[in-house]
């Protein structure tokens, strides 16, 4: 239910619609937690069924009606319990199809492997460029929050910047080694 806890975390700050939640995930957590629109809406239904959130339909004249969700006391308790519990998964273990391909890339010619790494580097550089908007998002979304809350947003953004920069440097080193082999 990790996605659910992410939703509860956002709703713990302020009531939000499904659309607002999608935008919040895209502008803040996307680096380390990708959430598709359909998954968010499915999770909202589960959370409401479990009594962790309640939805209220807001009638709009200019736009379609929307449902705004609010965290309940039970949802807040579940969220805070989740935050306080020990790490369920190792923070340093993650799955990466890309790294599995790199591991087995010795079955391809070095030039082809280098191309795989060049594409990775290009993708990382493009992502780093998109991340330039994150500090402004933190400032916008955090304008009515305590500094104590938003500093954690800055911590995760900083991790993202450092991680992507490290990925770019790693790819450059790997490409250079492969080019020396040719």
Q: What is the DSSP string of 37-53?
A: HHHHHHHHHHHHHTTSE
Q: Rounded CA gap, 105 and 11, in Å?
A: 44
Residue range 98-135, pLDDT digits in tens: 998 999 999 999 999 999 999 999 999 999 998 898 88
Confidence of residue 1 (pLDDT cuts 50, 70, 90): low
**137 burial type by CB count under 10 A (0-12 exposed, 13-18 middle, 19+ buried):** middle
Among candidate residues 57, 84, 111, the one where a domain is terminated: 84
Nearest to 138 by CA among 119, 118, 154: 154
Percent of the chain scoring above 70 in pLDDT: 96
Residues 64 and 129 grouped into a single domain: no
List Cβ neighbours of 75 (8 Å cut-off, separation of 6 or more). 8, 11, 47, 51, 52, 53
Residues 135 and 176 grouped into a single domain: yes
Query: Token pair of 126, please?
Result: 């493009």
Residues 103 and 176 grouped into a single domain: yes
Average pLDDT, the chain: 90
Task: Report yes or no on 92 lying in a domain.
Answer: no
Residues 108 and 36 grouped into a single domain: no
| Predicted local confidence at residue 88, as pLDDT | 65
Query: Is pLDDT at 145 greater than 90 in this prediction?
Result: no
Residue range 24-45, pLDDT digits in tens: 888 888 778 888 899 999 999 9
Q: Rounded CA gap, 126 and 131, in Å?
A: 9
| Predicted local confidence at residue 86, as pLDDT | 67
Identify the domain containing residue 73 by its residue range. 2-84
The SS3 assignment for 70 reads strand
How much is the pTM?
0.75
Task: Report yes or no on 40 lying in a domain.
Answer: yes
Q: How many residues does the chain have?
A: 182
Residues 169 and 105 grouped into a single domain: yes
Task: Report yes or no on 155 lying in a domain.
Answer: yes
**DSSP alpha helices (H): ranges in the chain?**
2-13, 18-24, 37-49, 73-84, 97-103, 110-130, 134-141, 147-181
Query: Is pLDDT at 172 greater than 80 in this prediction?
Result: yes
Residue written as token pair 């070095």? 110
Task: Report yes or no on 90 lying in a domain.
Answer: no
Query: Is pLDDT at 78 greater than 90 in this prediction?
Result: yes
Among candidate residues 84, 112, 139, the one where a domain is terminated: 84
Task: Report yes or no on 89 lying in a domain.
Answer: no
Backbone angles phi, psi at 58, to 5 degrees: -110, 120
Residue written as token pair 């890309």? 98
């Amino acid at each position: 239910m990790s996605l659910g806890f992410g939703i509860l975390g956002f709703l713990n700050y302020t009531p939000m619609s499904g659309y607002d939640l999608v935008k919040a995930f895209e502008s803040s957590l996307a680096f380390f937690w990708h959430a598709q629109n359909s998954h968010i809406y499915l999770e909202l239904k589960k959370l409401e069924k479990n009594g962790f959130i309640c939805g209220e339909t807001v009638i709009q004249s200019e736009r379609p009606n929307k449902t705004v969700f609010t965290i309940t006391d039970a949802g807040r308790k579940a969220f805070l319990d989740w935050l306080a519990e020990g790490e369920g998964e190792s923070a340093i273990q993650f799955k990466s199809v890309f790294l599995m391909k790199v591991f087995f890339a010795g079955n391809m010619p070095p030039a082809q492997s280098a191309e795989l790494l060049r594409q990775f580097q290009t993708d990382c550089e493009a992502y780093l460029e998109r991340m330039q908007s994150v500090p402004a998002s933190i400032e916008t979304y955090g304008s009515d929050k305590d500094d104590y809350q938003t500093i954690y947003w800055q911590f995760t953004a900083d991790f993202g910047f450092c991680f992507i920069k490290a990925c770019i440097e790693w790819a450059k080193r790997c490409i250079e080694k492969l080019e020396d082999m040719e």
